[in-house]
């Protein structure tokens, strides 16, 4: 009778028993990844069920396949250290490579800086993109295995990055393998990873009796029924216990914790202390530190190490580590809390003396008893703020709460700690705790601090979905400003209050007067005196002015002052809401040159920082500006770049970006592409009013194109109701389409009412392109003579102010109107042909194929052949292909193009291959050579 060899017998590592289905799943995944399609494998199950052994076997198999691998593991000792697992995965690689060189070039530099340099400015999404970039670079030469064991103990920042990787390396040769204990109690990020379509979830069960028999026979050469029965019952089928029982022989205990506690009880005081210190140090456990913390000499430590290894508690070799996570858990569970606190205090002292960073030291201070040492307080606060800045809100809240428990902390310092602790709890999703923190020491606060806290409370209530409570908090902040002595609230705090109110649309009359006074005071001073708070207020006030339709000139002037000298971009970064507000205001005020300059500078900074979200937000704003100017190809490239970033977690302006992109696709006569986008903004999802209005209009525009006028009108009217307070021309999209749908449905009064409204608003606002656009829409609802006059006025404004698409459409509208009213009138017929020809010429230049098609059909029966500008070779390319080719013709390498556009190198290669086929060239050299002809 032959016996099937245990899995893993072909490897140097220990064999695996009873896991044939799991290993078959791995082999299938390995073949898939080797063929070029990434995938993941998640092992879940209780402690001791064999996840780590399987993962180690897989690492051995990857070595046999000549794959590269990076590995890390979560641990209780390092769970509060932001980015610790990332350091395990990529730290040694970063130490061997320079920043700026592959794989840490381009966006990858952000990860290199984080691992080996400055961690004060951590952008979580940029870090995620950087990690993906590094992995993609490695896959150019070899397949890569990424392993993270005990993911449930990973630090928060690393967990978010790892959980996002499957989306970002989907088309690369990357295999991600993780081990997780209980998926039911796992974090949202972990559950998201387990539910990821590219991840296969394997729930491990205890071994069967026959699996234990196979193991026993392999270990001892024989497997009697009695021995197998005893081991299977004693171990409950847990591989860890089977191995321990086979190694120890005498112990028969089916609970791993009890087995280990009994074994720990046999240790001497010195041995137990040494093991406890090693467990608490985690992967920092080196002989020198253990010596410093315990105070024992090397001879006593060597004896302790030998004894712990004989008991299979300490692994052989270096660094010092326990044989299994269960050993660490059991060690911590039997420790006396006061003694444990003292051990952590000694560890913190030793780590500090050894030159370790604030975060590492504070992790241990977190577990010490509160005291009155100001150095401890400072370390905890600094580490908490660093954790908060890195996106590790849970760790930040723990550190800052521990700092609050210190004694003899000055009142002013304690209130600042409490403010920061509340913000950490808010980011961690514990809104009730955050508000409770902010209200806990109210009487100790100054007027300025109360105003700041009220802003935080208002923000929290808005996040909670309670706008009335949020407005009440903001109103209370305004009351403080109105009643307190002017010197009692610092001016920068006052400006932050007004900035927040401008942003949130809180328009109480008395508050509006005070806000106006604050803005006028700033404007009366030299711009050189502006600080961050002043720039924030100016930016939000500019946006408020634009959204409400007050004055294009004022909105543009305020925004231009806010962004002057590049200080706002430097302070807020490309992903900041203040910069976004200023840039949006410049766009809405039609300050195109200034807006494009700011957008280009912000995009360059986003690329330098590896900020995916910043790149997406600025690309959206620049794409929206291009769309309003009728630069369809440029608009599509930017908007597609923004929408693609949703896979990286970008959602700030997703609905608006989709709405704009739908308009672009419809103008380019790509109805299918427009309709496909609607899946990204389903109407059954809850959204804040402006974003819901944008989503509604995206659906309305497609419905209008399909001839579903009732549906389009209903959705436009709902969007109008949602944005009643925002009368600026920027929100006239749905109003304009409501006019067109209402005219078709013969609801003339509604159409005329909306038409009059948008024209009055646009004239009051004073942006000429916006007025031309409004006039073109209003003409739809007017009688013939008035409509002709209105369209002529619209055409003049749009031609003079860079409104290319609307200009082409207005010419087409006028041609159609003239033909409908005077088909037999030769003069009108001739003028219609003239305007139709102009419409086609203007539309051809910008790629507005819908206008070309519709006007060509209109003129077809008139035996007119309009002159059409000859297409250039580059007109054959899609906007994405065009953008890649433009950069290639500038001499950029594929990697530089990928870095510039935030896409993969494979994506660049794919775009170039399609472009070569369309242009009839075979290489980059031929492409560059033909650039002048194109």
Write down the pLDDT at residue 930.
67
Collect contacts of 911-914 with beta carbons under 8 A, ≥24 apart: 911/880, 911/881, 911/884, 911/885, 912/884, 912/885, 912/888, 914/881
As averages over each run of 10 residues, the pLDDT of the chain (934 residues) reads: 50 75 96 92 94 94 95 92 94 93 89 83 81 92 96 93 87 94 84 87 94 91 87 88 76 67 91 96 92 93 95 89 91 93 95 91 95 95 91 92 95 94 91 92 89 88 77 83 73 76 55 78 92 88 90 96 91 84 95 94 81 88 94 92 85 93 96 96 89 96 97 96 83 92 96 95 95 96 94 95 95 92 74 92 91 90 58 67 83 83 79 85 79 49
Q: Do residues 761 and 588 lie in contact, with contact meaning Cβ atoms separated by under 8 Å? A: no
* CA–CA distance, 336 with 327 (Å, rounded to integer): 16
Question: How many C-alpha atoms does 869 have within 13 Å on its Cβ side?
Answer: 17
Write down the pLDDT at residue 144.
97
- Name the token pair of 345: 């205090």
* CA–CA distance, 367 with 46 (Å, rounded to integer): 27
Helix (H, G, I), strand (E, B) or coil at 220: helix
Q: Hey, how many other C-beta atoms are within 10 angstroms of the C-beta on 314?
A: 24
* CA–CA distance, 562 with 580 (Å, rounded to integer): 11
* CA–CA distance, 412 with 449 (Å, rounded to integer): 10
Q: Hey, how many other C-beta atoms are within 10 angstroms of the C-beta on 520?
A: 9
| Coarse DSSP helix, strand, coil percentages of the chain, rounded to the nearest 5 percent | 70, 5, 25
Beta bridge partners of 39: 175
pTM, two decimals, is 0.75
Tell whether omega for the bond before 198 is within 30 degrees of 0, i.e. cis: no
Q: What is the DSSP string of 131-164?
A: HHHHHHHHTTTS-EEEEEESGGGS-HHHHHHHHH
Q: Give the residue among 501, 422, 492, 482 at the shortest CA–CA distance from 456.
A: 422
* CA–CA distance, 697 with 675 (Å, rounded to integer): 12
* CA–CA distance, 213 with 219 (Å, rounded to integer): 10
Phi, then psi, of 459 in degrees rounded to 5: -60, -45
Q: For residue 68, what is the DSSP state?
A: E
Q: Give the residue among 390, 356, 364, 325 at the shortest CA–CA distance from 156.
A: 390
Residue 175's H or E segment, with its range, is strand 174-180
* CA–CA distance, 228 with 215 (Å, rounded to integer): 9
Specify burial of residue 783 (Cβ count, 10 A radius: 0-12, 13-18, 19+): exposed
Q: What is the DSSP string of 362-419?
A: HHHHTTSPP---HHHHHHHHHHHHHHHHTT-HHHHHHHHHHHHT-SS--HHHHHHHHH
Write down the pLDDT at residue 230.
86
Beta bridge partners of 322: 314
Q: Do residues 533 and 495 lie in contact, with contact meaning Cβ atoms separated by under 8 Å? A: yes
Q: Which residues contact 474 (CB under 8 A, 6 or more apart)?
A: 454, 455, 458, 497, 500, 501, 504, 506
Residue 621's H or E segment, with its range, is helix 612-629
Helix (H, G, I), strand (E, B) or coil at 708: coil
Q: What angle, rounded to 10 degrees, do the helices at 225-235 and 209-220 form?
A: 120
* The 3-state secondary structure of 483-545, one letter per residue: HCCHHHCCHHHHHHHHHHHHHHCCCCHHHHHHHHHHHHHHHCCCHHHCCHHHHHHHHHHHHHH
Beta bridge partners of 180: 44
Write down the pLDDT at residue 502.
65
- Counting every residue, how long is the chain? 934
- Residue with token string 């308009």: 663
Q: CA 709, 712, 714 angle in degrees (round to 5)?
A: 110
* CA–CA distance, 189 with 198 (Å, rounded to integer): 15
Q: CA 777, 783, 789 angle in degrees (round to 5)?
A: 65
What stretches of 406-462 adopt beta strand conformation (E)?
Answer: none
Would residue 707 be called left, alpha or beta, if left means φ above 0 and alpha means ψ between -120 and 50 degrees? left
Question: How many C-alpha atoms does 166 have within 13 Å on its Cβ side?
Answer: 21
Sign for the CA dihedral angle at 802, 803, 807, 808 comes to positive
Q: Do residues 770 and 763 lie in contact, with contact meaning Cβ atoms separated by under 8 Å? A: no
* CA–CA distance, 613 with 647 (Å, rounded to integer): 10
Phi, then psi, of 200 in degrees rounded to 5: -90, 125
- Residue with token string 């004896």: 303
Q: Do residues 587 and 631 lie in contact, with contact meaning Cβ atoms separated by under 8 Å? A: no
* CA–CA distance, 883 with 633 (Å, rounded to integer): 9
**If you compute the radius of gyration of the chain from its CA atoms, what whole number of angstroms results?**
33
* CA–CA distance, 116 with 198 (Å, rounded to integer): 32
Helix (H, G, I), strand (E, B) or coil at 202: strand
Tell whether omega for the bond before 319 is within 30 degrees of 0, i.e. cis: yes
Residue 290's H or E segment, with its range, is helix 287-294
* The 3-state secondary structure of 75-112, one letter per residue: CHHHCCCCCHHHHHHHHHHHHHCCCCCCCCCCCHHHHH
Q: CA 508, 511, 514 angle in degrees (round to 5)?
A: 150
Q: What is the DSSP string of 783-799?
A: -HHHHHHHHHHHHHHHH
Q: What is the DSSP string of 554-569?
A: HHHHHHHHHHGGGHHH
Q: Do residues 352 and 365 lie in contact, with contact meaning Cβ atoms separated by under 8 Å? A: no
Laid out side by side, the sheet with 174-180 consists of 68-73, 144-149, 174-180, 39-44, 199-203
Helix (H, G, I), strand (E, B) or coil at 42: strand
Q: Do residues 568 and 577 lie in contact, with contact meaning Cβ atoms separated by under 8 Å? A: no
- Name the token pair of 462: 């808005």
Write down the pLDDT at residue 902.
73
Q: Do residues 641 and 633 lie in contact, with contact meaning Cβ atoms separated by under 8 Å? A: no
- Residue with token string 């379509």: 197
Write down the pLDDT at residue 672.
95
* CA–CA distance, 726 with 730 (Å, rounded to integer): 9
Q: Do residues 632 and 664 lie in contact, with contact meaning Cβ atoms separated by under 8 Å? A: yes
* CA–CA distance, 157 with 580 (Å, rounded to integer): 26
- Name the token pair of 874: 């580059």
């Amino acid at each position: 009778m032959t016996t099937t060899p245990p899995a893993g017998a072909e490897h140097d590592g220990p064999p695996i028993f009873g896991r044939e289905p799991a290993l078959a799943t791995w082999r299938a995944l390995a073949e898939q990844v080797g063929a070029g399609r990434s995938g993941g494998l998640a092992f879940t199950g209780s402690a001791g069920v064999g996840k780590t052994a399987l993962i180690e076997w897989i690492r051995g198999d990857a070595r046999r396949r000549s794959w590269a691998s990076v590995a890390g593991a979560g641990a209780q000792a390092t769970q509060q250290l932001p980015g610790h697992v990332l350091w395990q995965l990529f730290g040694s690689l970063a130490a061997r490579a320079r920043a700026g060189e592959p794989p840490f070039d381009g966006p990858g530099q952000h990860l290199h800086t984080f691992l080996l340099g400055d961690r004060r400015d951590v952008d979580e999404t940029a870090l995620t993109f950087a990690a993906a970039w590094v992995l993609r670079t490695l896959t150019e030469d070899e397949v890569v295995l990424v392993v993270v064991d005990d993911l449930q103990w990973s630090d928060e920042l690393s967990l978010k990055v790892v959980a996002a990787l499957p989306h970002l390396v989907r088309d690369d040769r990357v295999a991600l393998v993780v081990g997780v204990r209980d998926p039911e109690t796992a974090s949202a990020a972990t559950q998201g990873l387990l539910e990821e379509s590219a991840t296969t979830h394997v729930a491990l069960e205890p071994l069967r009796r026959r699996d234990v028999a196979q193991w026993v026979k392999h270990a001892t050469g024989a497997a009697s029924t009695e021995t197998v029965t005893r081991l299977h019952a004693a171990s409950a089928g847990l591989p860890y216990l089977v191995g321990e029982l086979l190694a120890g022989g005498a112990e028969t205990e089916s609970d791993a914790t009890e087995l280990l506690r009994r074994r720990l009880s046999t240790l001497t005081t010195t041995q137990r202390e040494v093991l406890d210190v090693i467990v608490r140090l985690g992967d920092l456990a080196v002989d020198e530190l253990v010596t410093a913390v315990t105070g024992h000499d090397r001879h006593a430590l060597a004896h302790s190490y030998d004894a712990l290894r004989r008991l299979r508690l300490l692994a052989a070799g270096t660094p010092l580590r326990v044989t299994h996570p269960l050993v660490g858990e059991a060690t911590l569970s039997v420790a006396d809390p006061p003694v444990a606190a003292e051990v952590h205090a000694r560890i913190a002292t030793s780590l500090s003396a050894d030159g370790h960073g604030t975060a590492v030291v504070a992790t241990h201070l977190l577990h010490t008893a509160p005291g009155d040492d100001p150095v401890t307080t400072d370390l905890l606060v600094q580490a908490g703020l660093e954790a908060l800045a890195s996106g590790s809100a849970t760790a930040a809240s723990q550190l800052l709460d521990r700092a609050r428990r210190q004694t003899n902390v000055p009142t002013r310092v304690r209130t600042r700690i409490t403010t920061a602790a509340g913000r950490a709890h808010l980011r961690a999703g514990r809104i009730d705790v955050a508000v409770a923190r902010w209200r806990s020491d109210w009487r100790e606060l100054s007027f300025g601090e109360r105003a700041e806290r009220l802003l935080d409370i208002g923000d929290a209530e808005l996040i909670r979905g309670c706008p009335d409570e949020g407005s009440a908090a903001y109103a209370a902040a305004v009351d403080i400003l109105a009643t307190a002595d002017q010197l009692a609230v610092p001016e920068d705090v006052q400006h932050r209050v007004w900035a927040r109110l401008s942003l949130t649309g809180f328009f109480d009359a008395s508050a509006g007067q005070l806000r106006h006074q604050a803005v006028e005071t700033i404007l009366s001073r030299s711009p050189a005196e502006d600080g961050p708070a002043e720039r924030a207020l100016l930016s939000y006030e500019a946006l408020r002015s634009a959204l409400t339709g007050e004055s294009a000139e004022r909105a543009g002037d305020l925004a231009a002052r806010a962004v002057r000298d590049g200080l706002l971009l430097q302070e807020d970064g490309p992903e900041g809401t203040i910069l976004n507000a200023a840039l949006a205001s410049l766009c809405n005020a039609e300050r195109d040159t200034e807006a494009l300059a700011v957008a280009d500078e912000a995009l360059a900074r986003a690329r330098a920082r590896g900020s995916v979200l910043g790149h997406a937000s600025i690309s959206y704003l620049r794409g929206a500006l291009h769309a309003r100017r009728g630069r369809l190809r440029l608009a599509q490239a930017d908007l597609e770049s923004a929408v693609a970033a949703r896979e990286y977690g970008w959602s700030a302006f997703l609905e608006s970006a989709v709405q704009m992109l739908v308009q672009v696709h419809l103008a380019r006569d790509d109805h299918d592409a427009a309709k496909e986008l609607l899946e990204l903004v389903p109407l059954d999802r809850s959204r804040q009013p402006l974003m819901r209005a944008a989503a509604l209009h995206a659906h309305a525009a497609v419905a209008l194109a399909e001839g579903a006028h009732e549906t389009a009108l209903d959705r436009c009217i709902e969007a109008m109701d949602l944005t009643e307070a925002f009368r600026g021309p920027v929100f006239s999209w749905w109003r304009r389409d409501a006019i067109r749908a209402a005219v078709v449905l013969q609801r003339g009064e509604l159409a005329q009412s909306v038409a009059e409204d948008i024209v009055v608003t646009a004239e009051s606002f004073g942006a000429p392109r916006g007025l031309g656009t409004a006039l073109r829409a209003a003409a739809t609802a007017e009688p013939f003579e008035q409509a002709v006059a209105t369209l002529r006025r619209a055409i003049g404004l749009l031609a003079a102010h860079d409104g290319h698409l609307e200009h082409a459409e207005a010419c087409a509208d006028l041609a159609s109107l003239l033909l409908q009213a005077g088909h037999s009138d030769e003069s009108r017929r001739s003028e219609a042909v003239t305007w139709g020809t102009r419409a086609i010429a203007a539309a051809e230049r910008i790629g507005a194929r819908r206008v070309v098609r519709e006007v060509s059909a209109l003129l077809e029966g008139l035996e007119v052949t309009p002159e059409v500008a000859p297409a250039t070779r580059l007109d054959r390319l899609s906007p994405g292909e065009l953008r890649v080719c433009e950069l290639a013709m500038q001499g950029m390498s594929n990697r530089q193009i990928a870095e510039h556009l935030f896409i993969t190198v494979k994506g660049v290669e794919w775009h170039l291959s399609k472009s070569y086929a369309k242009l009839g060239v075979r290489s980059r050299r031929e492409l560059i050579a033909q650039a002048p002809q194109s």
